[in-house]
A and B are shown apart, each in its own frame.
Chain A
Amino acid sequence: MTTVEERLLPSAEPVQLIDQNGVRHEHPQYRLPADEVLVDGYAQLVKGRRINDQAGALVRQGRLAVYPSSHGQEACQVAATMVLREDDWLFPTYRDTVSIISRGVDPIETLTLLRGDWHSGYDPYEHKVAPQATPLATQLVHAVGVAHAARLKGEDTVVMALCGDGGTSEGDFHEALNFAAVFKAPVVFFIQNNEYAISVPLARQTVAPSLAHKGIGYGVPGERADGNDLAGLLAVLGQAVAKARAGEGPQLVEAHTYRVQAHTNADDATRYRNEAEVTPWLERDPIKRLDAYLSEQGLLDDNAKQAAESAAEQAADELRVGLMEDVSPDPADLFRYLHTTQTSQIKEQAAFLQDELAREEA
């Protein structure tokens, strides 16, 4: 019999398998992922970084309305999907563009929301990715429902539900954990603790020893990992997914990472933090350390690196070309999807707009 403490308490320190210098560390509970997994992960990180930076540039060129970047958080973004099976679900937020793309969703469809031609651009059922949630933590309760339905249908699907550190203060975060626990729903709640909710530091969200500790009150096991160590994240999230799939109920994972850039392009981070705080985090970069480790092990030669970089460049090109194309969303769409059967009022309003546009053209 394990004690309550053993079952629920997170590790004393965030799990780390490769440190910021690329040095490997043994961990009593977690094993280093296979070489080929890490090499593949490396390529995905490089691509994720390139997508983030390209999207940032596209905002400056006026092709996106706004972009909340996950620059520096790519290990979390990529690990969240790498540990999933095709039939599992992902519940992302506005910041999780890279995660959604690494799940296989078309990049242009992914960026529809942030380009501003529609509220969500992809079919959630195609890759089992829920629409990105902006109202914080609200998606977590939906994740519980999807997971519970899977159980009722006898499927062993797992749901990966993403959330930020700030989002853990919302009531829905707590309701989701409790519901998931009571119904033993196979959800992995994955918090990317990047230290900030816009300008508000973590210290204003909680005085708990860690966000992973928040599971205890609901009977949900918590674990924490170095959010910039892809190897550690894959091990921790992989185990959480396996436990959820095996019927052990929901799992809570907190990744310690950092929002290297401002909240979005519209934010001015100099108003609430100084460079001295940011600099050490650049040293903890997820790509740099994996590069160092894999190179040291002889697993990543110049050719492999070049291949990763040109794949990333190609992804960035696709993004650029796709978003440079002008789109003109159909105003009639405003009325098309509201109800299964269009109400007479909506029909009337659609006709009104159509008539107005026809007169404008004439």
Chain B
Amino acid sequence: MTYSASTSDWAVEADGLVKTFGTNRAVDGIDLRVATGTVYGVLGPNGAGKTTTISMLATLLKPDAGSARIFGHDVQRESQVVRQLIGVTGQYASVDETLSATENLVLFSRLLGLSSSQAKVKAHDLLEEFHLTDAAKRPLKNFSGGMRRRLDLAASLIAQPPLIFLDEPTTGLDPRTRMQMWDTIRRLVSTGSTVLLTTQYLDEADQLADRIAVIDRGRVVAEGTSNELKASVGESSLELRLADNRDLDDVRVAIERVLGVDPTVSPEAGRITAPMNNPDRVTELLVTLREEGIHLAELSVAKPTLDEVFLTLTGRGVDDAETENTAELEGSRA
């Protein structure tokens, strides 16, 4: 049965995806829309359900409920078609450790239908493109994390798939290698690929993604462009530590009045965090505080981190989210 062109502008459409492991709802009703030709970032802490979501979209895992289509093709009914349209670079190396880089690329090329000589040319080109030529014959055991990731990505590009899944492509890489990976991803997009990547870093999603979905405990808690997302958290955030905790309430009221935003209060730490859309207003706030005779122990301005995005969206920090996930896991094992 052959499928001809369908007229879908969406590279990925997921509706109500659910995956349960035992009692743990790893993915709990996720909807996604990824437009063709864009980079889409799925941002979330460890255990949020990113890998599980990608696995379902990439036909590696069967959803318990919901459906997904890749360029209009259903991942379950037309899984073999979907596999012809995607490249998957997993969170953990998905290359054969016992083979050399060249042997890996030739193997995958052959499986994808290239002739023996075409496969060799392809392997050679990809190794050159990803600066791995010098290491082509060395066993993978001696590869650095960055080299392994590059080889992994190269292997995903053999068939020049129009959609590429990248699961945490830079986690564990040093800053320089990370920048190189970002460049590579940008280059991919410029050739017309659609990229869906997951990350734990807001700045990565910010740098690369046209749109971002923030996920937590298997749910999408926010979705939008990087700017929309940051606007909901504040361009930067203001953090105040008070000399006297009894002033917390007064400060909160002052922030609401002067900055017009809802601050997050951590009473134990005597700390108040507020999104700061307009840095000029901070001067006004400080003046107000002095007029009211409130003393500050510390003041800092920070770019929003994933932690703050989280705090704003869910009312809890990333650390809390991870602790909860661990607790759930331990609970299910007990």
> Are A and B subunits of one complex?
no
Which A residues form the contact surface with B (CB < 8 A)?
none
Which B residues form the contact surface with A (CB < 8 A)?
none
